[in-house]
Amino acid sequence: MAKTILITGASSGLGAGMAREFAAKGYNLALCARRLERLEALQQQLQSQFSIQVKIKTLDVTHYDDVFTVFKAFQQEFGTIDRIIVNAGVGDGRRIGKGHFEVNRATAETNFISALAQCEAAVEIFRAQNKGHLVVISSMSAMRGLPKHLSTYAASKAAVAHLAEGIRAELLHTPIKVSTIFPGYIRTELNEGAKKLPFEVDEKTGSKALVKAIEKEPVKAYVPQWPWLPMGIAMKILPLKLVNKLS
């Protein structure tokens, strides 16, 4: 029987990219995001290409009660959810102290508080099932504090990485697995207007690498592994003025 994966933020970017890769592997999919028309187009595409079930629901992850409602509804429809990927997030941010608190607050809330709601809902389901795989998408920016527009974003991604590790500590020696994924620079709609980024890869390459890493159910994974595994080590020990060059 095919396993089921729930992905948030699945209407575009890495969420949609991962959905395509997992569909090709024969997984059933529970996809949610804010933009229903995008989800419907993706659902139609995947069901026409692959013999799988794809169910969709609209979800704004900043509406916390809806996170629990949607996750439970998917579980009831499929019977079991085998893997939940906490992917929804925003890449917005502004320099600190320049009068943009509301933008930075929204980034912090979406990337951390909304992720907390998703993790709560996911682990509740997995505890009831006594099995499951929670995947939290962080970022290589979580390795250090970063300047300019990345300060709040990097902090929110560091927070969500620590949250995932705390959940993993709680669930050690249980059938519930927890993976923290640290993607490097992957070019998607989220950052399409940005300058060329160091070591960036395109969306398809990035999505394929993410799925390959997630399938191994690792404790942590740096994606793509080269150069981000050694870069992750370097970022933790390099002087801040050198780390700044990556932003």
pLDDT value of residue 181 = 98
Token pair of 112 as six digits: 């951390």
pLDDT value of residue 242 = 87
**Largest Cα–Cα separation, the chain:** 54
Token pair of 98 as six digits: 């320049």
Q: Give which of 53, 55, 58 is closest to 69, Cα–Cα.
A: 58
- Tens of pLDDT along the chain (247 residues) come to 789 999 999 999 999 999 999 999 999 999 999 999 999 999 999 999 999 999 999 999 999 999 999 999 999 999 999 999 999 999 889 999 999 999 999 999 999 999 999 999 999 999 999 999 999 999 999 999 999 999 999 999 999 999 999 999 999 999 999 999 999 989 876 656 666 777 899 999 999 999 999 999 999 999 999 999 999 899 999 898 888 877 7
Q: What is this structure's pTM? A: 0.95
Q: For residue 72, what are the domain limits?
A: 4-246
pLDDT value of residue 4 = 98
**Alpha-carbon span 164 to 182, nearest angstrom:** 12
Beta strands in the chain (DSSP E): 4-8, 28-33, 54-58, 83-86, 132-137, 176-183, 186-187, 201-202, 220-223
Query: Is position 27 annotated as part of the catalytic site?
Result: no
**Count of Cβ atoms closer than 10 Å to residue 175 Cβ:** 11
C-beta separation of 247 from 150 below 8 A:
yes
- CA atoms within 13 Å, Cβ hemisphere of 214: 29
Token pair of 147 as six digits: 């300047």
**Count of Cβ atoms closer than 10 Å to residue 219 Cβ:** 11
Q: Give which of 147, 160, 67 is closest to 109, Cα–Cα.
A: 160
**Catalytic one among 27, 64, 153, 222?**
153
Bridge partner residues of 90 (DSSP)? none
CATH number at 33 reads 3.40.50.720
Query: In this structure, which amino acid lies at residue 134?
Result: L
Tally the domains of the chain. Answer: 1
Token pair of 241 as six digits: 């003025």
Cα 119-188-132 angle, rounded to 5 deg: 25
